[in-house]
Amino acid sequence: MNQESAGFDRKMLEALVCPQTQGRLDYDAERQELISRSAHLAYPIRDGIPIMLIDEAREID
C-alpha cells in the first residue's frame, strides 16, 4: 500500500485531539499514524480513517 494512497485528509488533523489527553496530534505519513507526544501513543490510520481508540494505539517513547 502506498502511504499516500490511504487518503488521510490532513485538514482533519486540525479537528482531532488525543482522546486521552485532549492534546495536539502530529501526522506521521510514513507510518500512517497520528502521534500524541503528551500521551506517548500512536494512533493508526487505516484506509484513510484514524482509529482514535486508546486500546488500538501503540506506546511510543
- The CA–CA distances, whole Å, from 52 to 2, 36, 55 equal 22, 11, 9
Structure confidence at residue 8 (pLDDT): 74
Can you tell me the distance from the alpha carbon of 23 to that of 8, in angstroms, rounded to the nearest whole number? 20
Structure confidence at residue 1 (pLDDT): 40
Closest CA to 16 of 3, 1, 26: 26
Structure confidence at residue 12 (pLDDT): 79
The ranges assigned to domains in the chain are: 3-59
**pTM (predicted TM-score):** 0.83
The correct answer on CATH 2.20.25.10 for the domain covering 3-59 is yes
Structure confidence at residue 7 (pLDDT): 64
CA 40 to chain centre: 12
**Rounded mean pLDDT for each run of 10 residues along the chain, 61 residues in total:** 55 89 95 97 94 97 90
